[in-house]
């Protein structure tokens, strides 16, 4: 199979008929063999019924239904697991992304050596309250991740080489950082493609302003998990040891100072009378704690397979 299209959706009943029809037209025009995997992320409207109806006349459609709303990342994650195509395309359900971009995305993966191609909504149809924080967000992500050629990390329209989606795991709000996760997984050929972006046709956005806070925390965790996730001790260990040593040497110095004064017969201060002594004790204790925290993190990191459990209600 050439292409798998994965569409995460939450309450998008009005858009689905148009979206799937549009995808079909593009696929037929280009002679692609394809599947469309619609992941219903616990919709409360009739989205699932619409999916069942569409499937009757469009055999390339398959549906996965979550029992409740787990978020876009979880929906993408199960969608990825189900794909069979050589190239996987993700797009939002709300008709803001255009299926007309698919042939070029496919070509970049198959013929131009890209592992991942991310859409860039250069001219986007969203309110300023969203586009301004988004700009800031993208520039922070660029510098933290070192992926300097992307302008729009969170674009819903992306294409992946099959290996990429089979190797990465997305949870929390991590869908915003898939290029970063892919890079950490060793897929370095990351490209960008300017794509059309349309205003939302039906319904309203499913993400509130809290998206940026959550997204930022997730970015920090990606950075630390990516860098130290497998060896948390490499982060906590050195900080703990340095803190411990600073405390140790200050105490050592204070004791030596006292002994020297006694030996020389000059007046001296008790070690315990000096504030510096208590600071150094604190440094020793904090250092020990950090070291032990690293040790515990090290143990936990061997047992983190729990975070991606979903309850799938039906698959058709
Ligand atoms: N979505 C989802 N689960 C959620 C929230 C959103 O699957 O909990 C889907 C949504 O239906 C759409 C895509 O993710 O297909 C992008 O959402 P939306 O259009 O609301 O985001 P925006 O375009 O405002 O960034
Ligand atoms: Mg949208």
User: How does pLDDT run across 172-227, given as a tens digit for each residue?
Assistant: 788 999 999 999 889 999 999 999 999 888 998 888 778 778 877 877 877 787 77
Give me 8's structure tokens: 């995460």
Mutate to test the pocket of ligand 1, among 5, 10, 98 (most ligand atoms within 8 A of CB): 10
Q: Are 113 and 36 in contact (CB under 8 A)?
A: no
pLDDT at 149: 96
- Residue-level pLDDT at 109: 98
List, as own/partner pairs, every contact residues 253-260 make where C-beta atoms lie below 8 angstroms and the sequence separation is at least 24, other chains included. 254/280
92: three-class secondary structure by DSSP: coil
Are residues 288 and 240 in contact, defined by beta-carbon separation less than 8 angstroms?
yes
Ligand 1 nearest atom to the CA of residue 204, by list position? 20
The pLDDT of residue 229 is 76
DSSP structure class, residue 149: T
**Residue with tokens 């019924």, as numbered in its chain:** 49
- Tokens for 254, please give them: 């204070």
Q: Which residue, judged by its Cα, is nearest atom 22 of ligand 1?
A: 205
**Quick one: which atom of ligand 1 is closest to the CA of 205?**
20
Is the CB of 156 inside a 6 Å radius of any atom of ligand 1? yes
- pLDDT of 218 reads 79
pLDDT given at position 131: 85
Mutate to test the pocket of ligand 1, among 72, 134, 157 (most ligand atoms within 8 A of CB): 72
**Ligand sitting nearest the alpha carbon of 205:** 1
Strand pairing class (61-66; 116-120): unpaired
CA-proximal residue: ligand 1, atom 9 (nearest)? 9
Reference 102, options 162, 178, 179, 25; nearest CA is 25
Atom of ligand 1 nearest to the CA of 92: 15
Helix orientation angle between 16-29 and 47-57, rounded to the nearest 10 degrees: 30
Closest-CA residue, ligand 1 atom 17, reads 206
**Residue 40 in contact with ligand 1 by CB distance below 6 A:** no
Helix (H) or strand (E) holding 57: helix 47-57
Distance 96 CA to ligand 2 centre (A): 6
Ligand 1 in reach of 90 Cβ (< 6 A)? no
CA-CA distance, 253 to 239, in Å (whole number)? Answer: 21
- Give the residues of the chain that fall short of pLDDT 50: none
Cα distance between residue 290 and residue 76, in whole Å: 36
Query: pTM value?
Result: 0.81
- Per-residue model confidence (pLDDT) at position 308: 58
Q: Is 69 in the pocket of ligand 1 (CB under 6 A)?
A: yes
**CA-nearest residue, atom 24 of ligand 1:** 205
Question: Residue 35: what pLDDT?
Answer: 98
User: For residues 22, 24, 28 and 31, what is the CA-based torsion angle, rounded to 10 degrees?
Assistant: 110
Kindly give the distance from the C-alpha atom of residue 45 to the centroid of ligand 2, in angstroms, as a whole number. 17
79 lines ligand 1 (CB under 6 A): no
| Whole-number pLDDT of residue 24 | 98
């Amino acid at each position: 199979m050439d292409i798998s299209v994965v569409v995460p959706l939450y309450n998008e009943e009005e858009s689905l008929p148009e979206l799937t029809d549009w995808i079909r037209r593009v696929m037929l025009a280009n002679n692609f063999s394809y599947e469309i995997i619609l992941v219903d992320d616990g919709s409360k409207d009739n989205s699932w019924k619409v999916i069942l109806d569409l499937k009757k006349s469009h055999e390339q459609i398959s549906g996965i239904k979550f029992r409740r709303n787990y978020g876009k990342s979880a929906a993408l994650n199960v969608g990825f697991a189900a794909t069979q195509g050589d190239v996987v395309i993700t797009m939002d359900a709300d008709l803001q992304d255009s299926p007309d971009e698919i042939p070029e995305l496919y070509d970049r993966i198959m013929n131009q050596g890209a592992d991942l191609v991310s859409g860039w909504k250069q001219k986007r149809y969203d309110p300023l309250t969203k586009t301004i924080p988004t700009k800031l967000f993208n520039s922070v992500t660029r510098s933290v991740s070192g992926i300097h050629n992307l302008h729009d990390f969170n674009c819903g329209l992306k294409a992946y080489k099959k290996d990429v989606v089979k190797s990465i795991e997305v949870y929390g709000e991590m869908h915003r950082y898939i290029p970063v996760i892919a890079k950490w997984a060793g897929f370095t050929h990351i490209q960008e493609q300017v794509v059309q972006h349309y205003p939302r046709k039906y319904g309203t956005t499913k993400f509130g302003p809290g998206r940026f806070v959550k997204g930022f925390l997730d970015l920090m965790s990606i950075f630390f998990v990516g860098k130290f996730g497998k060896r948390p001790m490499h982060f906590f260990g050195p900080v703990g040891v340095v803190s411990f040593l600073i405390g140790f040497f200050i105490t050592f110095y204070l004791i030596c100072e006292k002994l020297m004064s006694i030996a020389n017969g000059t007046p001296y201060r008790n070690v315990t009378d000096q504030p510096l002594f208590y600071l150094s004790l604190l440094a020793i204790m904090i250092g020990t704690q950090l070291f032990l925290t690293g040790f515990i993190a090290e143990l936990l990191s061997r047992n983190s397979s729990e975070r991606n459990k979903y309850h799938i209600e039906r698959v058709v």
